[in-house]
Amino acid sequence: MASRKVFTFSSNTYSFIYRLLDLCVLLGSLPVAAWLYGLTIEREYIIASLVVSVAFLYIAESFALYRSWRVGHFSEMVLSAWACISVAFFIAVMIAFLLKQSEEFSRVTVVLWFALSFIFSFLWRAVQRQYIRARHRAGFNIKRVAIIGATNSGSELLSEIRKRDELGYKVVGIYEDRHPRRVTDDLNMDVVGKIEQVIKLARNGQVEMLFIALPLKAEKRIADILLRLGDTTVDVHYIPDFLVSTLIRSRFANVGDIDTLSVFESPYLGAKEWVKRTEDIIISSIILCLISIPLIMIAAGIKLTSPGPVLFKQRRYGLRGEEIVVWKFRSMSVMENSDTVTQATKGDPRVTRFGSFLRRTSLDEFPQFFNVLAGSMSIVGPRPHAVAHNEQYRGQVRYYMLRHKVKPGVTGWAQINGWRGETDTLDKMKNRVEFDLHYIKNWSVWLDIKIIFLTIIKGFTNPNAY
């Protein structure tokens, strides 16, 4: 019996060449740096270059650096490469420090090596990008594409193609069987013909790629179009409608010979779970070392300004909706942890004077780094809500409990985008959940680092935290 596995994963055709170029950059930048500084490369530098290269390749896989960037942002690609280089050098420096070998290296040479790696990694990507653009403008490697369906998803696709000349796509037209009056004007799509016409173009080789942007409910129409395109050589892609693109993580799997499509699933699959946990342990350990003295000072401030314990523990839902205990510095004169929890509001009399300062600056969250180290929380993730609030909103906000496909975080995508503090209206909670689900759907190590840096820059004070 023939296998029924019909789906494959998208990859970058030239990923091996790109990996090789980056390795050449890392290994080649060292002798250039040594030559500029007038240094002779010794055995320890060769070992260091191998350590940096291995660490870089590992981090690059975690960042998905070599995925297809044909439809990606050039700036994001460069920043991802720089982030991988930075982490690789940091690992090498830490190893040298722990092994007491750091004195064997010239600091100037290492800094030059690091800087040249940044410059050369950017240069080869910039040259490649300009080369591809020049070829497209000269008419080489241009793909004639057509879109079936004058829909919202088709309109968004058309907009992306128009503003990205690096794609090398030339749209020959939009094709739709519905009457023009049924196509809304705000889509900014000019329908040039019926679906039958574009099928004929595909059969004649006048179209190389077809995007089907019909809603999933038009299953019979889609099946008929695919059947008729089966005797052509055109590449066919389906653009998910709003419902499908909102729910799925676009990952195909198999149960034996049966294909399955993930709908609700954790983003931490396979080695990614280990990468995420490693990230949490390293960052939380560093942060706890840095804030050890402030922790003692805050604890003393709480004791001196109000009666009661220093820490406050609250029941929250964690990974998979399992109940966990989250630690915070006490900022109120009462400690509510029942089935009914009243959120703090502006001028709330329950909040102590010192507690108000802690809440505005997020210093009351510091003990949660111990939760991260223990494994019940993560550095980055959806903020944990009180159990009472979870039970209140899970029936009011769609897909609310999907937040628990990952561990709750000390900071998150919603918080750095302003959805922090009091959620006194249903709309505020809906917006927070929307940002949380965006994080889960688009998780990467790079996104975590971005959120951490943005939290440092603007996350310590917030007018919405009372």
**Which of 215-219, 296-300, 405-409 has the lowest average pLDDT?**
215-219
pTM confidence score: 0.60
Q: Cα separation of 381 and 451, whole Å? A: 10
pLDDT above 90: residue 71: no
Q: What is the pLDDT of residues 240-291, one digit of tens each?
A: 765 565 555 556 665 666 666 666 777 877 677 888 898 899 899 999 998 9
Q: How far apart are CA 316 and CA 330, in angstroms?
A: 16
Q: What is the pLDDT of residues 317-339, one digit of tens each?
A: 888 888 899 999 888 765 555 55
Tokens 């410059």 belong to: 119
The DSSP bridge partners found for residue 315 are 325
The shares of helix, strand and coil residues in the chain, as percent rounded to the nearest 5, are 55, 10, 35
pLDDT of 297 strictly over 50: yes
Q: Is the pLDDT of residue 15 over 70?
A: yes
Residue 238 parent element (H or E): strand 235-238
CB 299 within 8 A of CB 354: no
Per DSSP (E only), the strands in 152-244 are: 169-175, 191-193, 209-212, 235-238
6 pLDDT higher than 60: no
Mean pLDDT (whole number) for 198-218? 87
Provide the pLDDT for residue 381: 93
Choose between 353 and 201: higher pLDDT. 201
The alpha carbon dihedral of 64, 70, 73, 78 has a sign of positive
